[in-house]
Amino acid sequence: MSAAFHRYRDCLQNRVRLKPTTLKLTIKLNVNKAHSKVMRKRSSNLSSLVALGITEKISSGEYSVGDQIPVESKLMESYNVSRSIVREAIALLRSEGLLLSRQGKGVFVASKERSVLKISADKLGELSEILDILELRLGVEVEAAGLAAARQDSSAIANLFNTLEEAEDIDNFMRNPRQLDFDFHMAIAIASGNSYMPKFLDFIGAVIIPPSQLIHDWQPKLSRDYLKKMYNEHKEIANAIKRKDIEASKTAMRLHLTESIERYRAIIPRA
């Protein structure tokens, strides 16, 4: 037999001998990954339980605003958890505005209520509130348009053009401008592929699109022209997304929202 054959045979034998080792290593790695995932989930659950326990003591008045909560070692003992779990729980409550850390002094109760984003419906007629909302949208929706162009979810793009088509008839658009406008922007948020984009718009809800009725009440002659321009801007955004042109999509959305800000500044009467 040739030397080449023997080398080939030896190679095969080595490969066969290596297979069990490789299999064991693969199994070990997979087990380690699974164990790590379970431990992370367990850690998250435990820290959430500790955070809930502290929150309940704040709500019941056992810990008042300004009070220092027990030190880490006491919390570890009370909840029978590790120091890292206690620290995760405290970090969570700090992020929610319930606790405040003071360097060298400890952790104190900052508030009895979690910090939440609030937009007052009773202020929607105020110019400053409307402009603030539009600027907030500018920071989020420009990126949503770019992501929609980049990710190209065919069903989401089809939905986007369906919502655009509903506003093509300006008479139809005028009958329900606020909802159709919102639906278009929500369709882009969904097409972005980022699960938090539509959640953000849904959270803002009715106030994300400033009331078009304000324009109709204050400047009736501008209402139809305003909606025609809005539709054309929507169409430009949708076409850029369909073309997969990321920068054009972002630019069109930025221009649309920036011009909306300027239109509101011109249309809404100042107090």
Give tens-digit pLDDT for 141-169: 999 999 999 999 999 999 999 999 999 99
**Could you tell me if 142 and 262 lie in one domain?**
yes
Distance CA 76, CA 231 (A): 59
Select from 258, 224, 253 the least CA-distant residue to 239.
253
pTM higher than 0.85 for the full model? no
Q: Which of 53, 81, 109 is the last residue of a domain?
A: 109
157 within a domain of the structure (yes/no): yes
* Cα 255 from Cα 240, distance rounded (Å): 13
Average pLDDT over residues 248-267: 87
Q: Report how far apart, in Å, the C-alpha atoms of 125 and of each of 50, 117, 191, 206, 222 are.
A: 43, 19, 31, 13, 18
CA distance 108 to 68: 4
What does the mean pLDDT of the chain come to? 79
Task: State pLDDT tens for residues 109-138.
Answer: 998 877 656 655 555 555 667 778 788 888
Looking at the domain assignment, is residue 165 inside a domain?
Answer: yes
Tokens standing for residue 84: 């890292």
Task: Clarify whether residues 13 and 63 are in a common domain.
Answer: yes
Contact 185, 208 (CB under 8 A): yes
Asked whether the predicted pLDDT for residue 211 surpasses 60, the reply is no
Q: Which of 266, 129, 270, 120 is nearest to 210 (CA)?
A: 129
Q: Of 57, 85, 109, which closes a domain?
A: 109
pLDDT-above-90 percentage for the chain: 42
Which ranges of the chain does DSSP label H, i.e. alpha helix? 3-60, 72-79, 83-95, 127-151, 154-166, 170-175, 177-191, 196-204, 212-218, 220-242, 246-267
| Nearest 10 degrees: Cα torsion 120, 124, 129, 133 | 90
Q: What CATH number is given to the structural domain containing 181? A: 1.20.120.530
pLDDT at 216: 52
Q: Is beta strand 99-102 parallel, antiparallel or unpaired with respect to 106-109? A: antiparallel
Residue 32 scores a pLDDT above 60: no
CA-CA distance, 153 to 159, in Å (whole number)? 10
Distance CA 119, CA 208 (A): 10
Distance from chain centroid for Cα 93: 20
Q: Please tell me whether residues 96 and 136 are part of one structural domain.
A: no
Question: At residue 267, does pLDDT exceed 90?
Answer: no
Residue 116: inside a domain: no
The CATH number assigned to the domain holding 48 equals 1.10.10.10
Are 99 and 228 part of one and the same domain?
no
Amino acid identity, position 212 = S
Listed residues 79, 109, 139: the one ending a domain: 109
User: Into how many domains does the chain fold?
Assistant: 2
Full domain range(s) for residue 198: 121-267
